[in-house]
Chains A and B, each alone.
Chain A
């Protein structure tokens, strides 16, 4: 059993895992790129080793070097976090071959879920409903896909079998525009994943993105921790997540949970994983994909289920049985997570880089902030733009929304633009409050400007403050000039004056 863990990641998730290790009394090894020398995860760990220059493929993606560091430092296990090496079956295999424990599922499970087409097949065989489509295990040509498209029905989605994060994904409204879109999807898939295999999937309109968290140990025990609502997305990137979903009732929850457990069992899953589904307006659900890793949004589940998912992952990897049985899992209250990204919501969400000169993090009852940045840290263009996750818990969903509103107002980040104003507008949005939204809501129906109308503003207060700040600055500048004009010190003036008056 290992007593030292290497964390092959950076940012907030590295800090999150370090914290779990500390609480368990496990030693930690951090790895870092040149620009992350001062990062929190480096300072927080028991040991830290340099990987290389800033770009990911010269640092956090260097699997061999990471394994070498683990062996040299005596770490017995590697936690990959999310992103980077987390869903690389070959990396998981290499870790195992080196005699180390990979904190995650077996390479076989990662591999069969990583290829979306194989995942679809596996799920269909296990009796899990999937979105109608072509399936893509047989590498269909453009001609074959064009022929099959009317059968799938428009609108449809072109997806990359090796895909993720919306790369290589195209929406097709009709057959006329399909040939060009097929080509661009293949091009993007090839550039992103080195594999241009694509398949077709029917587009389910007005659907929600709901996912089920599962936990499985090495003894075949599998439980689910209910659902997370992740419909609020922009360009297929999640922005805000909740647990539980306002749309899911007990019956649907039960059905989805059962299917998720079945899906996990179909690939002999172990560790934490997530089954992502689309749910249509009639509460039919379809398997989308399985994420074979810890998710960004795991904290909302932790808050309402009272389970520390990262600690469970580590316990499972150490060969322990799950600490919970399915009947222990009860929903308590509601939780919301806002992803705080360094991007400007007033300027088409343009990423913002620079130095965070000042930061005030919200505190008080029911608030959790997972972050890896601090005042004085630099947001570089090398990694993604998420700087922290603000998570709140409330007795009810309404209480959680009110608390999130309060927390967002307390949160101040100076130096880079953030999407905090976007989340503030979302908390004031009536469809959001009513739980009435779907995966296209942010892009098609939501408007920050519209919500800003009719809100109380304080332009006069702002005018007074701006003027006073400017005035004080001018005065100070003038004062400095005046003092320099009189080149002698005040003490000398005093003694001269004293001499004169003698």
Chain B
């Protein structure tokens, strides 16, 4: 089975040949892969070198922790890859950005108005949580669409706050 695996933006072509062999970018390596029972822990021995990894679902990807460093990964098989290519551009860059609460908290103040133009990095609103005031910023340039909260509102995690169009 062939996969295209992206690690922090860099693509690798990985083929699983059999239980013991994997090829990565055309190079065949011998692997011994075990998963530790009841834990998100995996042990990989590759060419005699031992690696312990924690693997868990992130918000949008699979997160792999190896030797104290976190890698964001995305694994697609060839069919998924073709489907995605056929569907055209990634929506993330062109569509509407919905600002969602990263954690439950209290809206302290909203720094923008509907219809206002914003630049990437502009503060959109301030959310108080865990006794700290946190500035939520715009990830890109755009115009503020609908604002769905007001000052003093309590919000749940992932609740939609406003949109940037």
B is a partner of A: yes
Q: When A358-B40, A468-B33 are in contact, do A463 and B129 touch as well, CB less than 8 Å?
A: no
Tell me the bound Cα distance from A342 to B102 in angstroms. Answer: 13
Residues of A within 8 A of B14 (CB): 463-464, 467
In the complex the two chains form, is A470's CB within 8 Å of B69's CB?
Answer: no
One of B39, B42, B69 near A465 (C-beta < 8 A): B42
Q: Is the CB of A465 within 8 A of B16?
A: no
Q: Is B134 an interface residue (CB 8 A)?
A: yes
Q: Judge whether B82 is part of the interface by a CB distance below 8 angstroms.
A: no
A466 touches B7 (CB 8 A): yes
B55 and A465: CB pair below 8 A? yes
| Inter-chain contact A469/B55, CB cutoff 8 Å | yes
Q: Is B83 an interface residue (CB 8 A)?
A: no
Shortest CB-to-CB span from B100 to chain A, Å, is 13
Nearest-neighbor residue (CB-CB) of A353 within chain B: B103
Q: Given the known A-B contacts A352-B103, A424-B68, are A358 and B39 also in contact in the complex, defined by CB atoms under 8 Å? A: yes
Q: Flag the segment in A89-97, A177-185, A388-396, A454-462 that touches B.
A: A454-462
Q: Chain A nearest CB: distance from B13 CB in Å?
A: 9
CB < 8 Å neighbour of B129 from A353, A414, A459: A353
For B49-87 the 0/1 string (1 means CB < 8 A from A) is 001011110000010111111110101010000000000
Q: In chain B, what residue has the closest Cβ to A415?
A: B56
* Cβ contacts under 8 Å, A463 to chain B: 5, 7, 12, 14, 24, 73
Closest to A412 in B: B54
What's the Cα separation between A470 and B6 when bound, in Å?
A: 13
Tell which of A116-124, A194-202, A261-269, A379-387 binds the partner. Answer: A379-387
* B:1-36 near A, CB below 8 Å: 1, 3, 5, 7-8, 10, 12, 14, 16, 22, 24, 29, 31, 33, 35
Complex contact B39–A353 (CB within 8 A):
no
Q: A381-B103, A460-B24, A462-B73 are in contact. Are A467 and B68 (CB under 8 A)?
A: no
In this complex, which of A348, A424, A464, A474 has the most chain B Cβ atoms within 10 angstroms of its Cβ?
A: A464
Q: How far is the CB of B109 from chain A (nearest CB, A)?
A: 12
Residues of A within 8 A of B62 (CB): 466, 469-470
The CA of A21 and the CA of B35, in the complex, are separated in Å by 41
Q: Indicate whether A385 sits within 8 Å of B42 (C-beta atoms), given known contacts A353-B104, A458-B67, A462-B71.
A: no
Residue on B nearest A416 in the bound complex, by CB? B103
Q: Is the CB of A381 within 8 A of B64?
A: no
B131 interface residue per 8 A CB criterion: yes
Q: Which of A389-432 contact B (CB under 8 A)?
A: 408-409, 412, 414, 420-421, 424
B161 close to A (CB within 8 Å): no
**B51's closest neighbor in chain A, by CB?**
A461
Q: Which residue from A385, A458, A461 sits with its C-beta under 8 Å from B130?
A: A385
Chain A: minimal CB distance from B77 (Å): 8
On whether A466 and B16 interact (CB within 8 A), knowing A351-B134, A353-B129, A381-B105, the answer reads no
Within 8 A of B (CB), among A464-497: 464-472, 474
Interface residue count for A (Cβ, 8 Å)?
A: 39
A474-B77 Cα distance, complex, nearest whole Å? 10
Distance A472 CA – B8 CA, assembled complex (angstroms)? 22
Instruction: Name the A residues within 8 Å of B29 (CB-CB).
Output: 464
A351/B129 contact (C-beta < 8 A), A459-B71, A466-B75 known: yes
Which residues of chain A are within 8 angstroms of B77 by Cβ–Cβ distance? 474
With known contacts A350-B102, A351-B132, A353-B157, A467–B66 Cβ distance under 8 A: no
- B147 contact set on A, CB distance < 8 A: none
B103 contacts across to A, CB distance below 8 A:
350-353, 381
CA distance A394 to B24 in the complex (A): 42
**Pairwise interchain contact B68-A408, C-beta atoms closer than 8 A:** yes
| B112: interface (CB < 8 Å) | no
A462 to B64, CA, bound (A): 6
- A409, A460, A470: the one within 8 Å of B75 (CB): A470
Collect the chain B residues with CB atoms within 8 Å of residue A462's CB. 7, 53, 64, 66, 71, 73
Chain B residue contacts of A458, Cβ below 8 A: 51, 66-67, 69, 71
Name A residues whose Cβ lies closer than 8 Å to a Cβ of B.
Answer: 342, 348, 350-354, 357-358, 381-385, 408-409, 412, 414, 420-421, 424, 455, 457-472, 474
27 A-B residue pairs with Cβ-Cβ distance under 8 Å, sorted by A, are A351-B134, A353-B103, A353-B129, A358-B40, A381-B103, A381-B104, A381-B129, A381-B130, A382-B130, A384-B130, A384-B131, A421-B68, A457-B69, A458-B66, A459-B7, A461-B44, A463-B14, A464-B22, A464-B44, A466-B71, A466-B73, A466-B75, A469-B55, A470-B3, A470-B62, A470-B75, A471-B3
Given A358-B56, A414-B56, A460-B24, 8 more pairs with CB closer than 8 A: A351-B132, A384-B131, A421-B70, A461-B51, A465-B33, A468-B22, A469-B75, A471-B16
Going nearest first, the 8 A-B pairs with the smallest beta carbon separation are A466-B73, A462-B71, A470-B75, A409-B68, A463-B12, A351-B130, A467-B14, A381-B129
